[in-house]
């Protein structure tokens, strides 16, 4: 597989160097692997810190800025960051109002953020955590590591970030972040596997004419393989999988998310099908976001994330945000 890289080992630091040059409004520490708002810590504001393996861009570094995250900690590709990064990030962004860690539910992320929270608290930083676990393709039981955190992470970071920007306290920001996480569900499909730079070949074999249903965002295969379906058939399957678990009784936010290798043209077509299914199921869509936001390197495919929203959450969603990945209202 041809890639626009120098050597596999330097993919993450190379990207961070480029990000620093393209975004002077961010402080990018290539050595410590941190992306921080240049004006951090923001006086009187609760700070949001997230992080995770690289390969999901623009998540998380691309969501650092006013109205969203204060700092992001990129790990190696598909590998959670180490506690040292989150401890440094928390110290850099804490104004004294405390720090919320937004953690996707993967064993590695949970363990490293837990260790970091303990260490940061030892240094006098108040830390709260919210776990994002929205992927309905994984059965949440004692027989699994629990549901994966995927597209809902964007909703949590945007809405909790807006609330923090309005000056809410740590307990309130944490509670709303948890409300968003608990009100969101996702389902993803892959039309091709992704290729990690270190391996250089696709992480699983997906023959032409077949697709994977229920994939995650780390190149891991899904739960089921089927003969290739149309955009409309995929929308039926994905939306019903989400609704079966979410049971919305009011409006939803919809994220039609590309996995990195599917053109926007196809994503908008898929978005139309997602809206068609939601209309047939009598679910009103309050807002829709379409694009490659929570990606899996070069994987082709898409995911659907729905979040039950009320007036307050909608106002926070609409509030201004200025980051490399999401920008409106400013």
Partner 1 sequence: MSEELTDDEGRELDAAFFVRWLTAAAEAVDREADQLTELDSPIGDADHGGNMRRGFFAVRDALGSEPPGTPGAVLMLAGRTLVSTVGGASGPLYGTLLRRTGKALGDAGQVSEKELAGALRTGVDAVAQLAGASEGDKTMLDALLPAVGALSEGHGLAAASTAAERGAEATTPLQARKGRASYLGERSIGHQDPGATSSALLLAALAQTAALGVSGTEAENGTGAESGEAGRTANGGA
Binding residues (CB under 8 A) for partner 1: these are 53, 75-84, 106-108, 111-112, 115, 137-139, 142-145, 148, 196, 198-199, 203-204, 216, 218-221, 223
For 82-230, where are the alpha helices, taking DSSP H only? Answer: 83-93, 107-122, 152-165, 170-182
Distance in Å, CB of 75 to partner 1, minimum: 5
To the nearest 10°, report the CA torsion of 170, 176, 178, 183: -170
Closer CB to partner 1, 142 or 230, in the complex = 142
The torsion angles phi and psi of 4, rounded to 5 degrees, stand at -85, 70
Distance in Å, CB of 193 to partner 1, minimum: 10
Closer CB to partner 1, 199 or 281, in the complex = 199
Closer CB to partner 1, 97 or 212, in the complex = 212
Closer CB to partner 1, 186 or 196, in the complex = 196
Q: Any catalytic annotation for residue 275?
A: no
Distance in Å, CB of 61 to partner 1, minimum: 16
| Per annotation, catalytic residue among 23, 60, 218, 247 | 218
Distance in Å, CB of 200 to partner 1, minimum: 10
The gap between the terminal CA atoms of the chain, to the nearest Å, is 40
60 contact partners, CB below 8 Å, separation of at least 6: 35, 50, 51, 52, 69, 72, 73, 74, 153, 157
Distance in Å, CB of 147 to partner 1, minimum: 9
Distance in Å, CB of 144 to partner 1, minimum: 4
Closer CB to partner 1, 34 or 46, in the complex = 34
**Residue 194 · residue 169 · CB < 8 Å:** no
| Per annotation, catalytic residue among 23, 56, 60, 275 | 56
- Burial (0-12, 13-18, 19+ Cβ within 10 Å), 25: middle
Diameter over CA atoms, the chain? 55
Distance, CA of 153 to CA of 316 (rounded, Å):
15
Cα 70 from chain centroid (whole Å): 15
Closer CB to partner 1, 53 or 251, in the complex = 53
HEC profile for 36-79?
EECCCCCCCCCEEEEEEEECCCCCCHHHECCCCECEEEEEEECC
**Residue 49 · residue 74 · CB < 8 Å:** no
Q: Any catalytic annotation for residue 56?
A: yes
189 contact partners, CB below 8 Å, separation of at least 6: 211, 212, 213, 214, 215, 222, 234, 237, 238, 301, 302, 303
The residues that are catalytic are 56, 218
């Amino acid at each position: 597989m041809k890639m626009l890289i120098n050597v596999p080992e330097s993919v993450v630091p190379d990207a961070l160097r480029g990000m620093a040059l393209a975004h002077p409004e961010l402080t990018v520490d290539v050595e410590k692997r941190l992306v921080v708002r240049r004006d951090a810590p923001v006086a009187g504001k609760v700070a949001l810190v997230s992080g995770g393996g690289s390969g999901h861009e623009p998540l998380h570094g691309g969501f650092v800025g006013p109205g969203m995250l204060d700092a992001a900690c990129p790990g190696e590709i598909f590998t959670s960051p180490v506690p040292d990064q989150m401890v440094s990030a928390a110290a850099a962004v804490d104004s004294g109002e405390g720090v919320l860690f937004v953690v996707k539910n993967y064993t590695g992320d949970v363990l490293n953020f837990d260790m970091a929270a303990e260490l940061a608290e030892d240094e006098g930083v108040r830390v709260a955590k919210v776990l994002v676990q929205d992927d309905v393709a994984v059965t949440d039981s004692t027989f699994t590591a629990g549901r994966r955190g995927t597209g809902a992470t964007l909703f949590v970071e945007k809405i909790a970030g807006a609330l923090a920007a309005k000056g809410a306290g740590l307990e309130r920001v944490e509670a709303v972040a948890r409300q968003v996480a608990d009100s969101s569900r996702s389902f993803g499909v892959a039309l091709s596997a992704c290729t990690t730079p270190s391996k250089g070949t696709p992480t699983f074999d997906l023959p032409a004419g077949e697709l994977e249903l229920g994939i995650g965002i780390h190149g891991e295969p899904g739960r089921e393989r089927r003969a290739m379906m149309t955009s409309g058939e995929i929308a039926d399957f994905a939306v019903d999988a989400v609704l079966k678990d979410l049971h919305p009784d009011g409006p939803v936010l919809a994220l039609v998310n590309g996995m990195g290798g599917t053109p926007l043209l196809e994503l908008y077509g898929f978005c139309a099908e997602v809206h068609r299914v939601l209309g047939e199921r009598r679910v009103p869509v309050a807002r829709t976001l379409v694009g490659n936001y929570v990606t899996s390197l070069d994987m082709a495919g898409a995911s659907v994330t729905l979040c039950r929203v009320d007036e307050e959450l909608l106002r926070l969603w609409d509030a201004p945000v200025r980051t490399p990945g999401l920008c409106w209202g400013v």
